Amino acid sequence: MDVHLVDHPLAASRLTTMRDARTGNAAFRAALRELTLMLIYEATRDAPVVQEKIQTPVATTVGVRLANPPLLVPVLRAGLGMADQAHTFIPEAQMGFVGMARDEHTHEPVPYMESLPEDLTGRPVFVLDPMLATGGSMVNTVELLTQRGATDVTCICVLAAPEGIAALEASGLPVRLVLASIDERLNDSAFIVPGLGDAGDRQFGPR
Ligand SMILES: O=P(O)(O)OC[C@H]1O[C@H](OP(=O)(O)OP(=O)(O)O)[C@H](O)[C@@H]1O
Ligand SMILES: O=c1cc[nH]c(=O)[nH]1
Ligand SMILES: [Mg+2]
């Protein structure tokens, strides 16, 4: 599996803000939005483009635009904080939604909402979820996409535990991963260590 770690001082500084327990909800959301911009920038680095002839005020030249803009799929709740910024950066993208919440005790994902196009054949998909912990939620989400024919899925995360990356890889699903940090491990509650806590609660308050 292709894993692209965005190793950049500006990304690291936004991540530090998000990790800091003193950061309030609004500042956490702002840092996530800014970091999302950097992750999307890197995720689209090799995206195919088509050329188009344009006229500048001075001359005719050839410009480019994305050949096949991705479907953006934020995973509710935490991924919602990445959706608007990703859409700002790729305004021609369409958006689908998946709702997934981990059971507190089993740590298994419980899907509760899905709003996706029927047919994803030939469409690149960017899944937006800041946290890849056990990997259960992401594997479940990507399965929903591949069942609809998706074969080109990019998971855009802020943090991952090694356990989550291993689970995604072991799934054999057609994914690549773009993220800002690979942390140390999971704790007994399946939270990422050192992590940043509950990414949904830190944006929106406790569920
Ligand atoms: O890799 P996993 O072990 O499945 O954990 C990761 C999931 O946990 C968080 O969501 P959560 O279930 O807390 O829901 P929320 O976004 O509504 O807070 C996170 O946003 C991921 O979706
Ligand atoms: O550390 C974690 C693990 C799962 N979900 C989160 O929001 N944080
Ligand atoms: Mg949560």
| Per-residue pLDDT at 133 exceeds 90 | yes
Residue 167's pLDDT is what?
A: 98
Q: How confident is residue 144, by pLDDT bands cut at 50, 70 and 90?
A: very high
Catalytic-labelled residue, pool 65, 106, 119, 185: 106
- How confident is the model over 146-166, as a mean pLDDT? 98
- Residues forming the annotated binding site? 77, 102, 129-137, 192, 197-199
- Residues forming the annotated binding site for uracil? 192, 197-199
| Span from the CA of 19 to the centroid of ligand 3 (angstroms) | 15
- How confident is the model over 3-22, as a mean pLDDT? 98
- How confident is the model over 126-152, as a mean pLDDT? 98
**How do strand 109-115 and strand 97-102 relate by DSSP bridges?**
antiparallel
| Per-residue pLDDT at 204 exceeds 90 | yes
**What single letter denotes the amino acid at residue 141?**
T
Give yes or no: 201 in active site. Answer: yes
98 lines ligand 1 (CB under 6 A): no
Return d(Cα 149, Cα 143) in angstroms, integer.
10
- DSSP-derived secondary structure for the chain: -EEEE---HHHHHHHHHHH-TT--HHHHHHHHHHHHHHHHHHHTTT--EEEEEEE-SS-EEEEEEESSPPEEEEEETTTHHHHHHHHHHSTT-EE-EEEEEE-TTT--EEEEEEE--S--TT--EEEE-SEESSSHHHHHHHHHHHTTT---EEEE-SEE-HHHHHHHHHTT-SEEEEESEE-SEE-TTS-EESS-S-HHHHHH---
* Residue whose pair of structure tokens reads 């912990």 in the numeric block: 133
| Per-residue pLDDT at 207 exceeds 90 | no
Identify which of 137, 191, 203 to mutate to test ligand 2's pocket (most ligand atoms within 8 A of the CB).
191
Residue 139's pLDDT is what?
A: 98
* Residue whose pair of structure tokens reads 């830190």 in the numeric block: 202
Mean pLDDT, rounded, of the chain: 98
Residue 7's pLDDT is what?
A: 96
| Per-residue pLDDT at 4 exceeds 90 | yes
* CB burial string 94-105: b at 16+ within 10 A, e below: ebbbbbbbbeee
Residue 45's pLDDT is what?
A: 96
Q: Which atom of ligand 2 is nearest to the CA of 192?
A: 1
| Per-residue pLDDT at 24 exceeds 90 | yes
Predicted-assembly ipTM surpassing the 0.95 threshold: yes
Q: Which of these, 47, 80, 87, lies nearest to 66 by C-alpha position?
A: 47
Q: How confident is residue 185, by pLDDT bands cut at 50, 70 and 90?
A: very high
Residue 63's pLDDT is what?
A: 97
Catalytic-labelled residue, pool 29, 102, 123, 148: 102
| Span from the CA of 151 to the centroid of ligand 2 (angstroms) | 27
Cα Dmax for the chain: 64
**Cross-strand pairs, 178:** 4, 156
Return d(Cα 167, Cα 165) in angstroms, integer.
5
Residue closest via CA to ligand 1's atom 10 equals 101
Question: Above pLDDT 70, what percent of the chain?
Answer: 100
Give yes or no: 198 in active site. Answer: yes
Give the model confidence (pLDDT) of 46-88 as tens digits.
999 999 999 999 999 999 999 999 999 999 999 999 999 999 9
- How confident is the model over 120-149, as a mean pLDDT? 98
Question: Above pLDDT 90, what percent of the chain?
Answer: 99
